[in-house]
Amino acid sequence: MPAARLAVTLLILLAPLAARAQTAEVAARVLDDLGRGLADAVVVAVPADGDIKLPPRPREGVIDQVNKEFTPKVTAILVGTSVTFPNNDDVRHQVYSFSPAKRFELPLYAGVPAQPVVFDKPGVVVLGCNIHDWMVGYVYVSESPYFAKTDADGKALLAELPPREYIVRVWHPQLSGTEEATGKRIDASRARHVDVEWRLALKPEVKVRRAPTSERGGRY
Ligand SMILES: [Cu+2]
């Protein structure tokens, strides 16, 4: 094989390795104040220099309504994502939010509303339903494309981060204190794998009791 061709072949073979070497991953673990893994926390890595490159195409999300609950209860999306709110119940829902990051109200509906909701500002959007007071959901609208939600063990993996410095923070519906206060500076410019852990002080969960009729199906 001529040297030039060999060099090209090697380049083609090694290119994916080189590309992979250029990215890093942050393995996050989020614990509650008793040291137990905390599910439904959103971990976000924001480039420390503030230079955020958003993917060109907006994404789509889905928040279901099943058994008169928002499913999932916590949804993390990138800013600009349009979300549909299909109703899988045999009753009608009226989904709304008064949160500054997105105020909206879907008319009372069954099935899938015609228009998705575009979440165009970063922040936390609290969802409610005008018919069922206990229905509460959260949309975490991230300004950065690097985010993940913790699983039942409190683990979340942020993969394929470009090698640079990040401020990594965490949010949870019961977080006591500000999300900003959880920020940790992580240098992912050389290390390919970084572990990071939080132990969060939590507020008690506020729960609205389900109406007695709801358990039997009710008239709504
Ligand atoms: Cu409802």
Going by C-alpha positions, the residue among 139, 104, 135, 106 that lies closest to residue 125 is 139
Strand partners, 199: 31
Question: Which tokens belong to 113?
Answer: 């509303």
Please give the distance, rounded to the nearest whole angstrom, from the Cα atom of residue 52 to the centre of ligand 1: 37
Question: Which tokens belong to 43?
Answer: 């971990």
Per-residue pLDDT of the chain (220 residues; tens, 9 = 90+): 566 666 656 555 555 555 445 899 999 999 999 999 999 999 999 999 999 988 887 789 999 999 999 999 999 999 999 999 999 999 999 999 999 999 999 999 999 998 899 999 999 999 999 999 999 999 999 999 999 999 999 999 999 999 999 999 999 999 999 999 999 999 999 889 999 999 999 999 888 888 765 444 444 4
Give the pLDDT confidence score for residue 57 in this predicted structure.
Answer: 79
Give the pLDDT confidence score for residue 114 in this predicted structure.
Answer: 86
Give the pLDDT confidence score for residue 13 in this predicted structure.
Answer: 58
Please give the distance, rounded to the nearest whole angstrom, from the Cα atom of residue 172 to the centre of ligand 1: 23
User: Which residues sit with Cβ closer than 5 angstroms to ligand 1, an ion?
Assistant: 93, 129, 131-132
Q: Is the CB of residue 169 less than 8 Å from the CB of residue 200?
A: no
Please give the distance, rounded to the nearest whole angstrom, from the Cα atom of residue 148 to the centre of ligand 1: 27
Please give the distance, rounded to the nearest whole angstrom, from the Cα atom of residue 66 to the centre of ligand 1: 10
User: Cα separation of 40 and 173, whole Å?
Assistant: 8
Please give the distance, rounded to the nearest whole angstrom, from the Cα atom of residue 157 to the centre of ligand 1: 33
Burial class of residue 97, CB neighbours in 10 A (0-12, 13-18, 19+) = buried
Q: Is the CB of residue 64 less than 8 Å from the CB of residue 70?
A: yes
Please give the distance, rounded to the nearest whole angstrom, from the Cα atom of residue 62 to the centre of ligand 1: 16
Give the pLDDT confidence score for residue 30 in this predicted structure.
Answer: 98
